[in-house]
Amino acid sequence: MHALLVTLLVIVCIGLIAVVLLQSGRSAGLSGAITGGAEQLFGKQKARGIDAVLHRVTVVLAVLFFVLTIAVTYFQL
């Protein structure tokens, strides 16, 4: 059980890091290249939609991170 939770925690951590890096920041960060192409093809609404989806995925992964961290600590004892 402990090994399964740790494996899930590592997967969630990697996913959370990737999603945070893909979000656009004040200086457009890493996602500037991705959303720049999306804006040319689909217009500005699509780029805002991508940022909204990335924000929701970040929230879900952050909640999973905290729940899995508490579960790993609980089952370690």
Distance between CA 45 and CA 67 in Å, rounded? 33
Which among 14, 9, 1 is positioned nearest to 66, based on CA atoms? 9
CA angle 66, 71, 77 (to 5 degrees): 135
Q: What is the mean pLDDT of residues 19-47?
A: 63
Question: Residue 77, SS3?
Answer: coil
Per the structure, the count of domains in the chain is 1
Distance between CA 39 and CA 36 in Å, rounded? 5
What is the pTM assigned to this prediction? 0.69
pLDDT tens per residue, range 44-76: 555 568 888 999 999 999 999 999 999 999 988
Domain boundaries, position 41: 2-76
